[in-house]
């Protein structure tokens, strides 16, 4: 890994060299030395920080700071290097044609693409810096309405807050920003609060200490949660017994937070003599890297065909492969994608893009397929890249309407 990072630094140095090639030996030396000191220093900080990655099966603050610092410069470097590579290929091709033909190369166009990359890299640097310091705490409430003729009129106007992908280990016990999120949730006065998985990164110990924060969230008809792929202890360097202890601990933590975990089961939500069903399943993901534990047929046991049904399932591919057009589910709530924690969304212009769309066709927001709905939450936490760029952490407010 260090070799790859060093190779990228050398290539970016080549792209930036014209800016270092200034008059005055001392100034030139200072610029070059500064470049290498910053990059090698941040690389060393990254590897040292990651060596402290787990402290009592939870991420260390040093590791998160190291990841954040390195990503702030890594993302712009990848962008600059990519544009410079295009420039080098272009220059090589035009040089080749100039040798074959009789014309000369238009050297005035050289490095134009690199300069564009430098400009975009500077913008991305600012975006990444904001993303790891402020962006990951810039909670936003996104509202959607689900209208269905199958919804009993007693539930017309019923408000659901959906949260997902907390990845509490990445907050390294930084409670205050999350308390702000809890306050925002309570101000919405939801009827139901649903958490759709990935409470932690690797081990349930990450969630210990967060009970007093999450227990402050209130909903008239209760709080429910499910497992996500990160909640089973699969990704840590421990054995099956330790993974099982982590699962048991996570159930206890959820209970202390005020959540009832649904494990391939359903509960009845009653209002003014009418009822609907809330189902929750274990993780089911299309990828071979994610567990396929969820059993929706088991979760449907005891439900009636005429009942309006809401399913909590962490991975949206479960809806695509198992639910859509096959199971009597009216609304599926998922998370998992994070919106890749970066992208651009301008609703007024119809712009909605994240690189994750090339992996998940339904990656954020509300989708309707026939009479079935899928809502994908962009997540409230972060994983790997400790920030968010153009993809703010989300509090989903879903209002049910009788069509």
Q: Give me the DSSP letters along 244-258.
A: HHHHHHHHHHHHHHT
**Domain's final residue, options 133, 148, 183:** 133
Same domain for 96 and 149, yes or no, is no
Same domain for 121 and 173, yes or no, is no
Same domain for 218 and 308, yes or no, is yes
pTM above 0.85, yes or no: yes
Question: Residue 373: which of 190, 162, 166, 229 has the closest Cα?
Answer: 162
**CB of 352 closer than 8 Å to CB of 401:** no
Report how many domains make up the chain: 2
Question: Residue 224: which of 204, 203, 199 has the closest Cα?
Answer: 199
H or E segment to which residue 76 belongs: helix 61-100
Same domain for 241 and 356, yes or no, is yes
Same domain for 259 and 302, yes or no, is yes
Same domain for 365 and 309, yes or no, is yes
**Domain's final residue, options 101, 133, 165:** 133
Largest CA distance in the chain: 88
In order along its 403 residues, the chain shows pLDDT tens digits of 789 999 999 999 999 998 898 888 999 999 999 999 999 999 998 888 777 665 555 666 777 788 888 889 998 999 999 999 988 888 788 777 776 665 555 544 557 888 888 999 999 999 999 999 999 999 999 999 999 999 999 999 999 999 999 999 999 899 999 999 999 999 999 999 999 999 999 999 999 999 999 999 999 999 999 999 999 999 888 889 999 999 999 999 999 999 999 999 999 999 999 999 999 999 999 999 899 999 999 999 999 999 999 999 999 999 999 999 999 999 999 999 999 999 999 999 999 999 999 999 999 999 999 999 999 999 999 998 999 999 999 999 999 999 9
Domain holding 60, by residue range, is: 2-133
Same domain for 368 and 384, yes or no, is yes
CATH code of the domain in which 395 resides: 3.60.21.10
Same domain for 95 and 193, yes or no, is no
What is d(CA 41, CA 169) in angstroms, rounded to the nearest whole number? 25
Same domain for 165 and 211, yes or no, is yes
Same domain for 316 and 288, yes or no, is yes
Same domain for 95 and 149, yes or no, is no
CA atoms within 13 A on the CB side of 90: 15
Same domain for 149 and 87, yes or no, is no
């Amino acid at each position: 890994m260090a070799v790859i990072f060093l190779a990228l630094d050398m290539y970016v140095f080549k792209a930036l060299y014209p800016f270092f090639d200034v008059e005055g030996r001392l100034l030139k030396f200072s610029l070059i030395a500064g470049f290498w000191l910053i990059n090698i220093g941040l690389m060393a900080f990254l590897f040292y920080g990651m060596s402290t990655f787990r402290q009592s099966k939870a991420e260390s603050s040093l590791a998160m700071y190291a990841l954040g610092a390195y990503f702030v410069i890594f993302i712009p470097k990848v962008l600059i290097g990519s544009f410079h590579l295009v420039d080098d290929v272009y220059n090589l091709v035009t040089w080749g044609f100039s040798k074959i033909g009789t014309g000369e190369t238009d050297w005035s166009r050289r490095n134009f693409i690199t300069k564009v990359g430098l400009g975009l890299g500077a913008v991305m640097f600012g975006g990444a810096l904001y993303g790891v310091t402020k962006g990951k705490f810039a909670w936003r409430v996104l509202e959607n309405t689900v209208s269905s003729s199958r919804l009993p009129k007693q539930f017309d106007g019923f408000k659901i807050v959906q949260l997902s992908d907390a990845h509490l280990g990445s907050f390294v016990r930084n409670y205050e920003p999350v308390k702000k999120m809890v306050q925002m949730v309570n101000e919405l006065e939801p009827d139901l609060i649903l958490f759709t998985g990935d409470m932690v990164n690797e081990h349930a110990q990450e969630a210990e200490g967060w009970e007093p924060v999450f227990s402050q969230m209130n909903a008239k008809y209760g709080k429910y949660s499910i497992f996500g792929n990160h909640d089973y202890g699969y990704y840590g360097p421990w054995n099956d017994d330790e993974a099982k202890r982590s699962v048991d601990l996570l159930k206890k933590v959820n209970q202390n937070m005020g959540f009832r975990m649904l494990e391939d089961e359903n509960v009845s939500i009653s209002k003014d003599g009418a009822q609907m069903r809330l189902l929750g399943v274990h993780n089911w993901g299309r990828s071979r890297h994610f567990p396929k534990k969820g059993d929706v047929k088991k979760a449907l046991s005891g439900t009636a065909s005429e009942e309006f049904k809401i399913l909590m399932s962490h991975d949206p591919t479960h809806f695509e492969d198992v639910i859509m057009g096959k199971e009597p589910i009216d609304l599926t709530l998922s998370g998992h994608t994070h919106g890749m924690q970066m992208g651009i969304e301008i609703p007024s212009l119809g712009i909605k893009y994240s690189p994750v769309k090339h992996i998940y066709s339904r990656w954020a927001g509300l989708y309707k397929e026939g009479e079935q709905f899928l809502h994908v939450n962009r997540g409230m936490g972060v994983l790997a890249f400790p920030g968010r760029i153009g993809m703010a952490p989300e509090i989903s407010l879903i209002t049910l309407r009788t069509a």
